[in-house]
Structure formats: structure tokens, C-alpha cells
Chains A and B, each alone.
Chain A
Amino acid sequence: MNDKAIIQIDRVVRRFGDFKALDEVSVDIREGEFFSLLGPSGCGKTTLLRLIAGFDEPTSGAIRIDGQGMVGVPPNRRPTNMVFQNYAIFPHLTVEENVAYGLRRLRLDKQEKQRRVQQALDQVDLGHLGKRRSNEVSGGQRQRVALARALIMRPKVLLLDEPLSALDKKLREQMQVELRHLQRQVGITFILVTHDQEEALTMSDRIAVMFGGQIAQCDRPEAIYQQPHSRQVAEFIGGMNFLEAALLRQGEDTIEVDVAGFGRAELKKPAGKAFNGGPLTIGARPERLTLLYGEDPGQTRVVPGEVLEASYYGDMTYYAIAIQAVEKPVTVSMRNTIGRRSLQAGEKVEIGWSPESLVPLT
């Protein structure tokens, strides 16, 4: 991966009648990175992908791939290839013929063609299924056929439109790892459209979170998760407690706040962000808080509370804790490691926290 932008999206607008599917979207996608467009359905992520592929044209704005303007260039002349949501495997062709489909225009000799098809099939572990009819292979295998068919074209950018959504959970997790591995191996830029936040977090180098036709935040997965810029982003990705707070003091790098139920804290200020004097929302991830019952808190600050409800997830248990001065119960997750007992509803506990547990949102 380097910093060179392979795709530049420049103030792109796409209207459908009165509806703005994309509203002045600008983003640079770097060469060789695994980039995800994440958002709920209708946020414009698929529209943006289709604009990059050339199936649709922007109402205004520009798309450049490798420095070349793409407006008016049809999909068959773009250095991109797509893995469709339903894979779009040609039903009248065999697996091999599907994979070789795009090679016809390259006018390769027979041996070279055969070599590239075999290489592409091997790349996705389908070497033994080449002669099968394409409607005789399973869902996971169809997905691999679609991948091989696109990768054989050696595109500059591979576009993936929710490629894993049709697979069951186990297979999906396996394919996530494989896709990531494949991307590192071939070194091509991958752009993944997904509504699954977990998928985006585990696979991507960078994620653009989209809402209502705009990119709300574009950053590394860790930054998106730990420092969401807005309540909307925080809510969409993972669980988050929202606490009301008053701004006491605003410094260069820090702000001092008074958080309802938790008390005063000095928090790191997100880069380039200014708060107006009014009330603000503070976010706290369930796993950034802890529960204490009887042990010495040491350096940790504590808030007394009471267990309302425990939800058991196997490796984790999520507790809803009622505390003073906060209307909604605070969710705290605990790993079920050795020696930790499960708490029952009604037990008195203390929520342990530190300023790093809290993220100021707008």
C-alpha cells in the first residue's frame, strides 16, 4: 500500500428525481488498500460503487481512476471489475468458461489462456471444479467463481458488492479471512460495499461510513471504532452508551466535562474539532467500562449501581446497570474469564471507568 490515490471521487452527486442518492461525496482511495463503504441500506454505498464501475453516471462531479477521467467511459472500458451481490454467474457456461469469459477480447493464444484460467481457479481453490456446470456448484463456490472471473482480468480496482451477504455465518467468516488474504497476495485495490460493521472492521484498511448519501467518517477501523466523530457513526458501529455532559472548559488538546452520573473528567479532544458551549454527548463502549464487586478499585474511578439484567453471550456477558442520575441503564460487557462469577439481577456493583473510557461526540 502507498499513498497514491488510485480512485478520486470529486464532489460526486447522483440524483434520482428529487432524491439525492449521493450528495457531494469526495474521497480518495489509495492504491493497494482494502477500502470499505459501510452504511445502512439506502445510504448510497451501492450507488457509489456502480458509479465507479460505470453502470451509472454521476449527475455532477468527477470520478478519476488512475488519473483518468471516467465520465462517459462505459464499464467495458474501465480498469475495474466487479463481484456482484448475487455473483451473476453465467448459468449457461461451465465454471471454466465463466472464468475465461473476459479473456476473449484480449486475444491470447490458447495455451496462455488455459494457463491464466487455471491460475485464477487455483487462486480461489477451485482448480478441481473447472469442468462443472456453473449451476452445479454451491453458494460459497459461486462466490469464488465470481472472484476468479474478475481477478483474471487483472483490474486496477476490484469492486465487491456485498459479496458475503448470501453466505451463512460460518462460511462468511471463513471467506472474510480468505478475501483479506487474497487482497494482500494480489495487491490490487479492493473496494467492498457492506452493511455489516463487523465485516468492515475485520477486513478493511480504511472504512468510509455513509449516511444519507454522504460520508460521515472515513478512517482506519480502529479510529472509526474508538473515536467516532458523531453519535450516528458510534451507534452504527458496535454498542455504545450515550451519556449527557456539560462542557466546562475547552483547551488546545483536551476538554473538561461534567458527565451525568459519572462526574468530572478531562478528555482528549478529537483532532480538528471544536465544541460550542452547550451540552454534549459522551460515548462509552461497553467493553471500555468494567464492573467491580468488592475488590479494591485502585486508580479506577467508580460509580455505584445495581444490576438490572444480564445477557449471556458465551464468551461475554452484557450487564445493564442502573446508576443514579442517568435515566437509561449503562451497558457494561465482561469477558467470562476463569474465576469471574456471573452477576445476578439486583446485585450492587460499581462501574469502574477512566477518562480513556469516554469519547466526546457532538
Chain B
Amino acid sequence: MKLRPLTIYAVAYLAFLYVPVLFLPVFSFNDSSIVAFPLKGITTQWYSELWHNDTMLGALWNSIKVGGATAVISTILGICAARALTRYDFRGQRSMAALIMLPLVLPEIIVAVSLLVVLLQLGFSLSLVSVTLGHILMAVPFSIAVLTSSFEGFDRSLEEASLDLGEGPVATFFRVTLPIVAPGILSSLLITFTISLDEFIVAFFLSGTEPTLPVYIWSQLRFTARLPHVLALGSMLLLMSIILLSVAEVMRQRAARRAGTSPSGGLV
């Protein structure tokens, strides 16, 4: 194969995108606290030490709580919105949809600062609850985007066919509606959880005294000695995100296929 300029460009682009990320796991196994080549040797020391770091485990637990709550609430909101957008026609539908999707492109720092101001003005103290609220705001547009693709093709006559064949409304929901949209819902849960897990700026502004994992990582960067731990933690976070998003995408495609549309588009 000839090396065409576009091929070179594509390879260079991908390298620029992913090589730095690959250094993360590589150095996390390096048997030295200095991040530099040549590598000294292979160790899992940094990983095992992480498990005895209570502050880190606390931050991880915080992240899981926030992520779980964000995933459930934003998916529920997403289901309502996606259903409304795909099944009904109402006045202001398009502008409503655009406004809901806006946080996707809004600078996160603006969202974070304005949330901080509003929450403090209202007299809320900063806690994991305020982080969760901020994360829901960021995650709902993603949830809607995923769910719309599985609801869009959902044919109402499928529910009618089930009623026609003798099933009541409840059995119809469990035998037809749920199985068809379930992969989409699962996909939305995974994506919103991942977004919350990885999110830093909003969490940094709103978390108060309870850091989430990314906030904890940031705080550790000041100590050179702790850098290998951060690399180990970052590697795990990376791996988890990739797994969660891959599963989510498989689910989304399956949902779209079930609903009878072609599984194009999508986020991941």
C-alpha cells in the first residue's frame, strides 16, 4: 500500500490522540517514582498500595455514589424527555429539545461557577448532593441522545398488536415495551454513570469537603512522590470507562436494531 498524505495524517492524528493516554498504564507499572524513560522494572506496588489508601477509597466510594445517583435520575429524566420528543407533537417541541441539549456545548466551567453561585445564594451547603445535581445537568442530554435512538423507531402498533392478541396493558409493558427499550435504558445508565465518574470541573467546584475520584487525583498531583499512585488510579479509571462505554454502545446498537432502525449515530 502506498503511503498517501491522508493515511499519514490519520496515523499521526490517532497517535497524538492515544499515545499520551497509553503512557499512563505503562508508567503505572514502572518500578520508580520518577516518571521518565528508561523504565526501571515492572511492579504492581502502586496498585496494591492504593487498596490501603483510605482517602482514595473514600473518594472512590463518593464517586460511585454520585455516579449511581446521577445515572438513575438522569436516565429517568431522559426516558420521559425522549418519549415526549419521539411520541408526541407539541408546541415549542423543537426549541425545548434544543434547550435540553444545550449543556452538551456549554463550557463546563460556566455551568460549574453558575451552579456554585446559585447554590450558595440559596443557602445550600456543598456536598455530594450538589455534585450530583450538577452531574445530572450534564448527563441528561447524553441520556436523551441515547434513548431517542431506541425510542425513535418504537412502533406504537407493537403495543396495539399485543393488546389485540389478548394481553392487558401491564403484560404488554413487560412483554413488549420493556424488552425493546431495555438495552437503550441500560446503555443510558452506563454512559451517564461514566460521565459522572470522569467529570472533574463541576465536582471540583461543588464537592466541598467530600472529594470525588477525579478531584482526589487532582489534589494528589501536587505531591511528586504520589505520582505513581495517581497513574495507577488513572489507568484503572481509564480501563473502567472504556469497558462501560463499550458495553453501552453494544446495548444502544442492539436497542436500535430491536426497534427496527439502523444502529447508526450514537455517541461512542
Do A and B come together as binding partners? yes
Chain A residues proximal to chain B, CB less than 8 Å: 53-55, 74-76, 80-82, 84-86, 88, 90-92, 101-102, 104-106, 135, 149-150, 153
A55–B160 touching, CB < 8 Å: yes
Chain A residues, CB < 8 A from B162:
90, 101
Question: Taking the nearest CB of chain A, how far is it from the CB of B52, in angstroms?
Answer: 47
Chain B residues, CB < 8 A from A92:
179-180, 258
Query: How long is the Cα–Cα vector from A85 to B257 in the complex, in angstroms?
Result: 20
Chain A residues, CB < 8 A from B158:
88, 90-91
Number of B interface residues at 8 Å Cβ cutoff, please give it.
Answer: 20
A76–B179 touching, CB < 8 Å: no
Q: Which of B162, B164, B175 has the most CB of A within 10 A?
A: B164
Q: Which of A54, A91, A106 has the most CB of B within 10 A?
A: A91
Contact of B163 among A76, A150, A153 (CB under 8 A): A76
Chain A residues, CB < 8 A from B208:
none
Chain A residues, CB < 8 A from B176:
90
Chain B residues proximal to chain A, CB less than 8 Å: 155, 157-158, 160-168, 175-176, 179-180, 257-260
Chain B residues, CB < 8 A from A104:
167
Chain B residues, CB < 8 A from A53:
164
For the complex with contacts A55-B160, A88-B155, 5 further pairs of A-B residues with Cβ separation under 8 Å are A53-B164, A76-B163, A85-B157, A88-B161, A90-B176
Chain B residues, CB < 8 A from A82:
160-161, 164
Question: Taking the nearest CB of chain B, how far is it from the CB of A292, in angstroms?
Answer: 54
Interface of A is mostly: mixed
Contact of B165 among A86, A135, A153 (CB under 8 A): A153
Determine the residue in chain B with the shortest Cβ distance to A149. Answer: B165
Given A91-B180, A92-B180, A135-B260, verify A86-B157 contact (CB < 8 Å): yes
B259–A81 touching, CB < 8 Å: no
Given A91-B259, A135-B257, verify A84-B163 contact (CB < 8 Å): no
Query: How long is the Cα–Cα vector from A149 to B260 in the complex, in angstroms?
Result: 19
Question: Taking the nearest CB of chain B, how far is it from the CB of A130, in angstroms?
Answer: 17
Determine the residue in chain B with the shortest Cβ distance to A80. Answer: B164
Query: How long is the Cα–Cα vector from A86 to B158 in the complex, in angstroms?
Result: 10
Q: Which of A85, A86, A88 has the most CB of B within 10 A?
A: A88
Query: How long is the Cα–Cα vector from A85 to B160 in the complex, in angstroms?
Result: 12
Query: How long is the Cα–Cα vector from A101 to B163 in the complex, in angstroms?
Result: 11
A153–B259 touching, CB < 8 Å: no
A76–B258 touching, CB < 8 Å: no
Query: How long is the Cα–Cα vector from A101 to B179 in the complex, in angstroms?
Result: 14
